[in-house]
Structure 1
Amino acid sequence: MAEREIVIDSEIVYEGPIFSIETQQVTLYNGQQAGRDIVRHVPAIAVIAFTDDDHIIVEKQYRATIGDFILEIPAGKLDERDFDQPEHAVTRELNEELRMTAGSISRVMGFFETVGFSDAYMHIYVARDLQSVAEAEQLPRDLGESLDLVTMSYDEMKALFDTGQLNDQKTIVAFLYWSYLRG
């Protein structure tokens, strides 16, 4: 039977704008003690931006964490304005990254990204009926954000998935959801 650990000590050893690192001492089910390092990350959203039933918009951008370019669906972290209504972040990210607004936005799922060491949680939304945002209404992109927008068909995404070239977790989840929709 799975047993809960009991936290006996906890300390934040790093605190930044997006995440903090907490160290814990815990008592295990057998009475032994162990240490835990936990990344506390702000929640995030990601958007499956449909241009029609057979095409979505993905971004190609450089990610320093992997030292390479990656294809991914638009995403962003929640801030204090969004915690009660993550849809606000969806609207903002569509504007900042795609320069679009959506006629409809709906939440389809959420998941913990890496429970082995982090509490990071991501909400996945679908955006449809996309319209361009007038230049005067465009929000600034995040500092250093440089991306190429790519409209991809379902068949193109499936080819990337089938050959292991689709390797961003949220984008894989989006593709699998899209496959589910297509039945």
Structure 2
Amino acid sequence: MAAYPEIVKSSKIVYEGPIFSVETQDVALYNDKKAKRDIVRHVPAIAVLAFVDDDHIILEKQWRATINDFILEIPAGKLDARDFDEPQHAVIRELNEELRMSASSIERALGFFETVGFSDAYMYLYVARDLKPIAENKQLPRDLGETMDLVTLSFDELKSLFDSGNLNDQKTITAFLYWNYLRG
């Protein structure tokens, strides 16, 4: 069977928060039946594969209330009004806020939808190289309540986490697979 688009007949924002909103839609299907869709509208975000050298990256171990646990992940953050035309600005800010580093080289690697089954959340993956510490008086404040342990891992250590199923953050898995692709 061929794929057909749905036609939105009506939509309404039922929740609006600082990071996302929830929209409910009434849609017409290809066969003239009707359905409802709930969509999480999320601001775009960036994530950074931050290289210490060709064989090591920096990750963060941080608490995530959504899973009620710590998770190991690459640095990431939301775009805001300053960044929408240039996501690289968010990369520079997040490297400063989270890693307390700057990078001489920042390149966009790819972009992906995070969870298309219910959300329009889109993330840009960047590669940052030639990291240098930022002087304390130039460091940006972290988000309220944001704490993290920084962890430097080699490719082989990250591969071991991946192989054992202990690398379970989507953006970090995507970054690892991209890193693996770069290594040929």
TM-score, normalised with respect to structure 2: 0.99
Q: Secondary structure at the match of 1:47?
A: strand
Q: CA RMSD in A?
A: 0.3
1:11-160, aligned counterparts within 5 Å? 11-160=12-161
Q: For 1:127, give the aligned amino acid.
A: A
Q: Per the alignment, in what secondary structure is the counterpart of residue 117 of structure 1?
A: coil
Tell me which residue corresponds to 1:180.
181
Give, in whole Å, the separation in 1 of the partners of 2:178 and 2:114: 16
Q: Distance in 2 between matches of 1:151 and 1:144?
A: 23
Distance in 2 separating the partners of 1:91 and 1:181: 22
The alignment partner of 1:45 has SS state of: strand
| 3-state DSSP of counterpart to 2:140 | coil
Structure 2 portions without partners, runs of 5+: none
Structure 1: tracts of 5 or more residues without a match: none
Q: Secondary structure at the match of 1:115?
A: coil
Distance 1:155 1:7 in 2: 48
The answer to whether the aligner puts 1:8 opposite 2:9 as a matched pair is yes
Q: Which amino acid aligns with 1:180?
A: Y
Identity of aligned residues (%): 76
CA shift for structure 1 position 151: 0.4
Aligned residue-pair number: 183
Q: Deviations over 1:67-116 (max 9, x none)?
A: 00000000000000000000000000000000000001000000000000
User: SS state of the match for residue 70, structure 2?
Assistant: strand
Distance 1:115 1:155 in 2: 31
